[in-house]
Structure 1
Amino acid sequence: MSAPDITLFTAAIDPADIADLRTRLGRTRWADWLPGSGWGYGTDESYIRRLCAYWQDGFDFDGFAARLNAWPQFLTQVDGEQLHFYHIRSAVEAARPLVLVHGWPGSVVEFLDLIGPLTDPVAHGGDPADAFHVIVPSLPGYGFSGPTRQPGVTAQKAGAMIAAVMEALGYPRYFLQGGDWGSIVTSAMAQNFPDRVAALHVNMAPGGPPNPAIPVEGLDADEAAEYARLGQHMAIDAGYAFIQTTRPQTLAVAMNDSPAGLAAWIIDKFHAWTDHGGDLDAVFDFDHLLDNLSLYWFTGTAASSFRLYHETNFRAAYAHAVVDVPTGIARFAGEPFRWPRSLIERNYRNVTDWQELPLGGHFAAFQRKDDFLRVVRAFFARQSP
């Protein structure tokens, strides 16, 4: 890949698009719900109606734009595809570069509250030794990276695009952190660019294609039970992924037309993949959730975010790279995608740190900022640049 040109970017939300969103929300033709069904059939009626009502009449769209623009952002083109990213250099001379990569149905907004503590830890009560230059890309096809323009934009391609940006920014060696698709993308980068990736940290560590129907040898009783739980989760909750893998464009027509439909589809995952004790309001406020939803809506990237599943193949993604760089793994208690450690270490062959967190779920950086900062800082503090 040739060195990409990089241009400064500022997010702007067209008032006409805000008015259109409000009109669409106000005209939502709601589905029927069985009385008392709660979250048992999918998204809960009371919750999604409250969220959409707030999105229509209570959400601060100017504040949303201000939060997006609080840190320097850039656009570039790599191999015919656009890539959006944040790049914030720390004032600490010894700071080291760290790339944070999101997944679906998340976005760069998951990391916005972490940029300050990571780049300027002293201002947030921390140690200057924990300072990083922070790079937060929007995956190709997500957010301000905009819709993908051609087939073949896989997780491997996304990783190569991010690597090209890091080279253009002048970082020959760097750290990586990812969850969900971010863990797949960063793991591919660690395999394909081991001379550039100094260390990797993931908060979702795959241990091969999740197919518990096929017996796996060498698991002890506890690991076999954990693998069975993964299989149960995949049987109950992976339908979204198979739809997005096999029929992404069919689903996208509805998601791109109905903000309430997009909200229901995405919020269902925040409820299912987070430890909240039955009260999602207790762990995520509407503003944070709507920052994420609004980014998908205003960029029109539902379709292209789904395409990553089709291009990479959801099951094949978990049979990812063999990683030999130093690796840290943090498993938050509510993470539903949990493989036995022995299977994980077949892929990650140099695990130097393993943390089991008692709280938090799939969206760890978004939900448990302090815990996420603690484990990430502690791991990379022990790594050589």
Structure 2
Amino acid sequence: MTSQPTRRQLLQGSLAAGLTVAASTALGPAPASAAPSTGHPGIRPFRVAIRRERVAEMRRRVAATRWPSRELVADRSQGVQLASAQALARFWATSYDWRRFEAKLNAFPQFKTEIDGVDIHFVQVRSRHRDALPLVMTHGWPGSVVELLETVGPLTDPTAHGGSAADAFHLVLPSIPGYGFSGKPAELGWDTNRTARAWAELMRRLGYTGYVAQGGDVGAAVTDNLGRLAPPGLLGIHLNLLVPALGGTGNLPKNTDEEKAAAAALQTFSTSGRGYLVEQSTRPQTIGYALLDSPVALAAWMLDHDTDSYLKISRAFRGGPPSGNLTREHVLDNVSVYWLTGTGESAARAYWERAQTSGHPQAPVPVPVAFSAFPGEIFQAPRSWAEASYPTLRHYSKATRGGHFAAWEEPQLFVEELRAAFRSFR
């Protein structure tokens, strides 16, 4: 295991990193003009400001959608159902307010910095608690920083959200290259390992001498790679998707009912649920034409990820109660970020990059690992699988609710999982 900073060193580093932070971060998001946690010359403030014409074009294209005929089955086995897509489009074209979300995002301190030739966008919110633990959290696909925003308050200001000061975090929420407000890579090689190296550099620039990392979906792959790199200062990682199992379950036990259920869920995903993954891993440019031309095509592509999240989101648009935080507005916040930044194809291309290195030998993860298994995920990984994948596993938990978009759908429960997971890392 790599050597780790002592608690005193961690606190000294966190305090040193926070000397230039505005006091307004104490009770919530600071103004977007707030200074970053370090005076690094390559870090500059950022605000979202989408042109009015671009927002109007999005609404016009939604209203002008050319619809396919209705599916010939009663379930989602042929894809996103016509009634669900039309309900989404009606709300998007007539009721959705992008400026509401733009103001919400701009209430958080946002920055950009160029790393390895690509502009990296990130949200940074520091806690008012002096002993807060720095945490870099990475979103997935078809997500963005949108899926993490509801966790910011409880993580950075736990005493105002049912926790104690000992559970406080300083948060860094970067956008993966090619996603959202980060730049699009202009050269090959931006796989999740290269992104992990960029995150290590980002945390170094921000002055954090000791920190932890978290990720789900693609973010889990980035965080897994970060754990394998074990850069100086990384104290441990938390995941909510067992990335190694996606590469095959041949070496994983399948004896208990729990293990058999996980293997069966993965088999179902492999045979009928991974169409998006195959297309993005092999032909991201082809699907990109549709994703950049039609907002509804983009939304349908993003909704057709996994059965659990699809059914929850579809129900919200068709008049049913939302599942936790998966409301119509929040779902369209995320889709609109992709459309307005024109990142449908560049986000898809990240899957192609990862596919080029799949199957290559990887170093073990030397830092401590924590894992949370959510019941609605593509598969709920048993403890035995987490232990087999990560011999340094320090914490394992099975959540009672939530699925693939765990932080987004159940932010309070997700926060509780992180608090419990990282207590032993402090």
Q: TM bucket by the smaller chain?
A: over 0.9
Shift of 1:45: 1.3
Which among 391, 404, 412 is matched to residue 349 of structure 1? 391
Residue 310 (structure 1) aligned with residue 345 (structure 2): no
SS, match of residue 126 in structure 1:
coil
CA RMSD, Structure 1 to Structure 2 (Å): 2.2
Give, in whole Å, the separation in 1 of the partners of 2:314 and 2:297: 22
Which among 290, 298, 304 is matched to residue 254 of structure 1? 290
Which among 55, 58, 81 is matched to residue 118 of structure 2? 81
Residue 22 (structure 1) aligned with residue 59 (structure 2): yes
Which residue identity is paired with 1:52?
A: A
* Aligned twin of 1:243: 279
Give, in whole Å, the separation in 1 of the partners of 2:385 and 2:398: 16
Give, in whole Å, the separation in 2 of the partners of 1:318 and 1:370: 37
Which among 255, 263, 266 is matched to residue 220 of structure 1? 255
SS, match of residue 244 in structure 1:
helix
Which residue identity is paired with 2:418?
A: V
* Aligned twin of 1:31: 68
Shift of 1:70: 1.7
Which among 47, 60, 73 is matched to residue 10 of structure 1? 47
Which among 365, 368, 377 is matched to residue 326 of structure 1? 368
After TM superposition, the structure 1 stretch with the greater mean CA deviation from structure 2, 269-278 or 14-23, is 269-278
Give, in whole Å, the separation in 1 of the partners of 2:375 and 2:338: 27
Structure 1, unaligned stretches of length 5 or more? none
SS, match of residue 279 in structure 1:
helix
* Aligned twin of 1:64: 101
1:210–1:315 contact (8 Å) kept in structure 2? no
Give, in whole Å, the separation in 1 of the partners of 2:360 and 2:274: 14
Residue 291 (structure 1) aligned with residue 333 (structure 2): yes
Give, in whole Å, the separation in 2 of the partners of 1:324 and 1:88: 28
Give, in whole Å, the separation in 2 of the partners of 1:339 and 1:136: 25
Which residue identity is paired with 2:202?
A: V
Shift of 1:287: 0.3
* Aligned twin of 2:424: 382
Which residue identity is paired with 1:198?
A: L
Shift of 1:200: 0.9
After TM superposition, the structure 1 stretch with the greater mean CA deviation from structure 2, 318-327 or 289-298, is 318-327
Residues 318, 143 of structure 1: alpha-carbon distance in 2 compared, 3 angstrom cutoff:
farther
TM-score (norm 1): 0.92
Equivalences, count: 380
Residue 264 (structure 1) aligned with residue 279 (structure 2): no
Which residue identity is paired with 1:290?
A: L
1:7–1:74 contact (8 Å) kept in structure 2? yes
Shift of 1:343: 3.9
TM-score (norm 2): 0.84
Which among 158, 162, 179 is matched to residue 125 of structure 1? 162
After TM superposition, the structure 1 stretch with the greater mean CA deviation from structure 2, 158-167 or 32-41, is 32-41
Residues 341, 323 of structure 1: alpha-carbon distance in 2 compared, 3 angstrom cutoff:
same
Residues 231, 163 of structure 1: alpha-carbon distance in 2 compared, 3 angstrom cutoff:
same
Residues 258, 171 of structure 1: alpha-carbon distance in 2 compared, 3 angstrom cutoff:
same
* Aligned twin of 1:48: 85
After TM superposition, the structure 1 stretch with the greater mean CA deviation from structure 2, 137-146 or 113-122, is 113-122
Residues 149, 182 of structure 1: alpha-carbon distance in 2 compared, 3 angstrom cutoff:
same
Shift of 1:89: 1.2
SS, match of residue 7 in structure 1:
strand
After TM superposition, the structure 1 stretch with the greater mean CA deviation from structure 2, 67-76 or 226-235, is 226-235
1:146–1:299 contact (8 Å) kept in structure 2? no
Give, in whole Å, the separation in 2 of the partners of 1:52 and 1:314: 36
Give, in whole Å, the separation in 1 of the partners of 2:330 and 2:365: 33
How big is each residue's C-alpha offset from its partner over 1:55-90, in whole Å with a ceiling of 9 and x where there is no partner?
111011110101211210001111111110001111
Give, in whole Å, the separation in 2 of the partners of 1:319 and 1:117: 38
Residue 171 (structure 1) aligned with residue 208 (structure 2): yes
Residues 312, 36 of structure 1: alpha-carbon distance in 2 compared, 3 angstrom cutoff:
closer
* Aligned twin of 1:362: 404
Identity of aligned residues (%): 38
SS, match of residue 208 in structure 2:
coil
* Aligned twin of 1:190: 227
How big is each residue's C-alpha offset from its partner over 1:318-375, in whole Å with a ceiling of 9 and x where there is no partner?
9765212121110110111445544432331111111112221011000011110111
1:4–1:168 contact (8 Å) kept in structure 2? no
2:303–2:310 contact (8 Å) kept in structure 1? no
After TM superposition, the structure 1 stretch with the greater mean CA deviation from structure 2, 176-185 or 3-12, is 3-12
2:230–2:366 contact (8 Å) kept in structure 1? no
